[in-house]
Structure 1
Amino acid sequence: MDNQSDLIKELRSKLSSFENRVRELEAENAKLTSIVSSCTCRHEVEETLDTDVSDKNTSAINLEKLKLGNCVGIGKRKPKKKQTGYNLNSMNHHSQRLVALKIMYFGPRFYGFASEAQMDPTVESELFKALQKTRLVLGERKDVLYSRCGRTDKGVSSVGQVVALLLRSKHKEPGGDTSEELLDEGPDEGELDYVRILNGVLPDDIRVLGWCHAPVNFSARFSCLSREYRYFFWRENLNISAMENSCKRLIGEHDFRNFCKMDAANVHNYKRRITSFDIFPCNGSDQLLFMKIKGSAFLWHQVRCMVAVLFLVGQGLESPDVIDVLLDVDKTPRKPQYKMAPEVPLVLYSCEFEGLYFKCSSDARRALQLHLEKKCRGYKLQAAIFQEALLSLSSTKDDDSVTNITKRKVSSHVPLMSRPTEPSYDERRAKLTFSAAPAQRESVVTKQYT
């Protein structure tokens, strides 16, 4: 019992000592807080810390130490080191301007351009990672007036995609505070080198090719005058003349519901205008060709569906007249089932806007050229390796002693107009209405009994 009594006394003594120490520390903390609050250099210290991009994880303890060190020290302030690279100014005081960016990307690695599908990586998700890493965007995507010209599918590439959004600007409105101000217009000289900044952190298969100041009411989607796609393919045994005949039939304004993936829940007008549709040799080659398709806007998978039907015509499996039949939605309200053309050869080549002229600094252009040349050489090396494999294969002899017992089944072509069809637009809408009806009836009943 005596031992327990002594232990209790000892513990109470220590507890009392700790309580006294806590009171002393609280008094000291109040004194230091008073000193900091009256310090005239506090704002400067906070601004210096805010603009230090490299030190992202400065703790609250280090912050207090830095404040006190500048306020209660010898009185001499160390000169601020000039930051190298780009001047990423304080995020608390900034100007913004609406900027259009011209972007190229090589599509095979990405699940499309847009990031709404919850699949990674997408071009858009990688772009916003770069924008946030460089602190060029000052808020969430919904706050920066973001718009995109097109949303290409998985595997599709582009050398002329355009997006627009509010980016941080070095220019300030004359006459004071620039916090959260939007610069409608301003000089481009001395502006941040957006191309070089972003290309320094983007992955190798995405590059910004140029930037341009855009008016406040600009939308990369709705301000676009026309879009041009190119689809690359090998001539092989295709009847190019018949394909060109079919191309001409697609020019003009038509209802393209039989040349797209129908989204009856969101799209109700399937009329689109194609202004040109031609076939050209690629870089003077008579074997590698490309289709050039230009129009004001396109439906979901429209280009790949048109190309698929053109390939059937080129193979002699369909007549060019099938184009006219599919465009007549009164006679053909249901799309016949057919496979789309592959996605990898498709490229969004350009997006046309009135009054937009993209620019790029000489340093950024030089870096871009070196990067693209390096990528070209890399793919040429890969092609050379496969070419060597072909040459090596040609030197091997056939072994007639081995009987090939597996025979490849050759499927016969079923004419498009004899194939099973997909539901028509009216049938899809009726199904959507029927599916929504029980929920509507339940809502009405609930309201009656509440």
Structure 2
Amino acid sequence: MEPSIESEIFKALERTRLLVGDIKESNYSRCGRTDKGVSSTGQVIALFLRSRLKTPSIDSEAHANEKINARPEYDYVRVLNRALPDDIRVLGWSPVPVDFHARFSCSAREYKYFFWRQNLNLSAMDIAGKKFIGEHDFRNFCKMDVANVHCYTRRVTFFDVSPCQNSHEGDQLCTFTMRGSAFLWHQVRAMVAVLFMIGQGVESVDVIDTLLDTKKTPKKPQYLLASEIPLVLRTCEFENVNFICSSGALESLRSHFKKESLTYQLESVIFQEALRNCLPIGNDEISCNIEEKKKKAAIHVPLLSRPTEPSYEERSAKLKPRQEETCPV
């Protein structure tokens, strides 16, 4: 089986003997499901771990400072990071109540999607993106999982598109920032895909309203998702949860991330060097490339004129009746 972040974390837990019992007995839960290729700087998991304290407190500060009749708590961040691959790191930990669930106890999630500005119309994408704010049925902006999900209403609380500090050869790096209480499978990548069409000028800003109106548009038009690589689950927020990281572990984290960042920048320089060594493009080839781009733009099929996927009702009719689901908006 191909390694995953989850499998690597459990390998580290077993290697460090921090796991209580086996995986099934650990009461494991995770906040978000990220697709293969998607990154996260704020994913949260919950599970039972070994503790040095006889009666652990659910208060983070009390737990961190408790020294009476007990040895200091394990430095979970430092211990686990020593056993994890370089591209996986634990940033902090916190004691929580026994009934805490990483997914259902989460109050908000924030995603960022990075992209190069190129010739995209940021203003149009910002206007369109703000139409997502509020409580809507996002069935036309996700991959339906009718076997497990019966309610596609979700609440987006914030949307913004803005330039970043990074640039390359005159092209500005930009980012979409989206916040909400919960998101559907592939929802962010679907939203971004449509926003890119609007930014390219091949779709109207109003197409967002039409796709969110599931009475007018009960079936999702067929379109490709945006790439998973620039997508980052940035934060998962919880009430009364304060993450702990020792000063030593924090210093190690900063040193590690700085080293990794420099390594990836060096790799980028190598690709830039290879690009400079490419043979120059002749005028005829430039003209051909321009014409080819114009042809691709000309053959764009409007979203509302495309073939559609089966509706939720058509999909669910093929399955046995299931209990109604409460919307995690």
**TM exceeding 0.5:** yes
Change (3 A) 1:385 1:334: same
Counterpart residue identity of residue 253, structure 2: L
Hey, what does 2:230 align to over in structure 1? 345
What SS class does the counterpart of residue 231 from structure 1 fall into?
Answer: strand
User: Whole-Å Cα distance in 2 between the matches of residues 251 and 208 of structure 1?
Assistant: 32
Among residues 140, 148, 153, which one is paired with 1:258 in the alignment? 140
Paired residue for 2:209, among 312, 324, 340? 324
Aligned to 2:302: 415
Residue of structure 2 in register with 1:369 after alignment: 254
Report the CA distance between 1:391 and its aligned residue.
2.8
5+ residue gaps, structure 1: 1-118, 174-181, 437-450
**Equivalent position amino acid for 2:251 in 1:** R
Structure 1 match to 2:186: 301
**Aligned-partner Cα distance in 1 for 2:255–2:11:** 24
Q: Report runs of 4+ in structure 1 exceeding 6 Å deviation.
A: none
Whole-angstrom CA distance in 2 between matches of 1:421 and 1:391: 43
Do the aligned residues in 2 keep the contact of 1:184 with 1:216 (CA within 8 Å)?
no
1:310 corresponds to 2:186: no
Deviation at residue 187 of structure 1 after TM alignment? 2.8
Which segment is superposed worse, 348-357 or 276-285?
Answer: 276-285
Q: Which amino acid aligns with 2:77?
A: V
Higher Cα Rg, which structure? 1
TM-align CA RMSD: 2.3
Q: 1:267 to 1:385 in 2, by over 3 A?
A: same
Query: Gapped runs of 5+ residues in structure 2?
Result: 66-71, 323-329
Are the counterparts in 1 of residues 125 and 199 from structure 2 also a CA contact under 8 Å?
A: yes
Q: Please state if 1:429 is matched with 2:316.
A: yes
Partner residue of 2:175?
290
Shift of the alpha carbon at 1:184?
Answer: 5.4
- Which whole-Å CA distance do the structure 1 matches of 2:316 and 2:262 have between them? 51
Could you say what secondary structure the match of 1:212 adopts? coil
The letter for the 2-side match of 1:305 is A
Residue 270 of structure 1 aligns with an amino acid whose one-letter code is Y
Q: 1:367 to 1:184 in 2, by over 3 A?
A: closer
Name the SS for the 1:166 alignment partner.
coil
What is the CA distance between 1:358 and its match in structure 2? 1.0
Shift of 1:390: 2.7
Alpha-carbon offset, residue 140 of structure 1: 1.6
The C-alpha deviation readout for 1:252-281, integer Å capped at 9, x for no partner, is: 000000000011111110000000010122
1:415-434 deviation per Cα after TM superposition (whole angstroms, max 9, x unaligned): 00000000001111112249
Q: 1:147 aligns with which of 2, 9, 29?
A: 29
Q: Displacement, 1:121?
A: 1.0
The correspondence for 1:203, drawn from 48, 73, 85, is 85
Distance change >3 Å, CA 385–CA 167, structure 1 → 2: same
Alignment of 1:267-278 (within 5 A): 267-278=149-160
What does 1:41-440 correspond to in 2, within 5 Å?
A: 119-173=1-55, 187-189=63-65, 190-283=72-165, 285=167, 287-393=172-278, 396=280, 398=282, 410-411=295-296, 412-433=299-320
1:177-214 deviations in Å (ceiling 9; x for gaps): xxxxx765663231100000000010011000111111
Of structures 1 and 2, the one with the larger relative CO (CA 8 A, separation 6+) is: 2
How many aligned residue pairs are there?
304
CA separation in 2, counterparts of 1:269 and 1:172?
A: 43
Q: CA deviation at 1:381?
A: 0.7
Which amino acid in 1 is paired with 2:17? R
Aligned-residue offset at 1:387? 1.8
CA distance 1:222–1:397, change in 2 (3 Å): closer
| CA–CA distance in structure 1, aligned partners of residues 283 and 197 of structure 2 | 36
The alpha-carbon deviation at position 332 of structure 1 amounts to 0.6
Mean Cα displacement is larger for which, 301-310 or 364-373?
A: 364-373
Task: Report if the CA contact (8 A) 1:136-1:167 is conserved.
Answer: yes
